[in-house]
């Protein structure tokens, strides 16, 4: 399986592929990117890509796809938009590790609130 974060994978093929295969493809893609050469936790980074791409491919939650499309339409490269959505996934995972319950309504609202301006203002680009 090939992966390029700047191009959406075929949803059916993505969801049908084994998770280990998807993880290897994402890791291989990032290994070739100079901007990602010194990531402190490359496996965690790749895992966040897996979650975001699974949400996009499955259409659940629908707010994830809308957020990504809005960010790309606003000028972010698709890969950067995946990172923006992935940050919200990471925040939700962190909250769960702290013992808080995942709130799908809050997550959807956060996705709906993602903007290019907000992402850039946060210095994440």
Interval 58-113: pLDDT, tens: 999 999 999 999 999 999 999 999 999 999 999 998 888 899 888 899 999 999 99
Question: Which pLDDT belongs to residue 110?
Answer: 96
CA distance 7 to 49: 13
DSSP state of 60: -
Cβ(3)–Cβ(25) below 8 Å: yes
- How far CA 27 is from CA of 52, 72, 73, 118, in Å, comes to 15, 23, 26, 28
Chain center to CA of 34? 19
Question: Which pLDDT belongs to residue 87?
Answer: 94
Cβ(111)–Cβ(89) below 8 Å: no
pLDDT at 125 over 60: no
pTM, full prediction: 0.91
Nearest to 90 by CA among 123, 30, 41: 41
Looking up tokens 């609202």 gives 109
What does the domain layout of the chain look like in residue ranges?
A: 11-121
What mean pLDDT do residues 39-51 have?
A: 88
Average pLDDT, the chain: 92
């Amino acid at each position: 399986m090939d992966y390029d974060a700047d191009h959406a994978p075929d949803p059916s093929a993505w969801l049908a592929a084994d998770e280990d295969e998807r993880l290897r493809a994402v890791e291989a893609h990032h290994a070739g990117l100079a901007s990602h050469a010194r990531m402190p936790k490359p496996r965690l980074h790749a895992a966040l890509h897996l979650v975001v791409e699974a949400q996009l491919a499955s259409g659940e939650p629908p707010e994830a796809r809308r957020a990504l499309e809005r960010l790309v339409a606003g000028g972010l490269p698709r890969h950067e938009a995946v990172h923006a959505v992935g940050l919200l996934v990471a925040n939700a995972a962190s909250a769960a590790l702290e013992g808080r319950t995942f709130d799908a309504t809050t997550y959807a609202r956060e996705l709906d609130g993602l903007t290019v301006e907000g992402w850039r203002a946060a210095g994440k680009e």
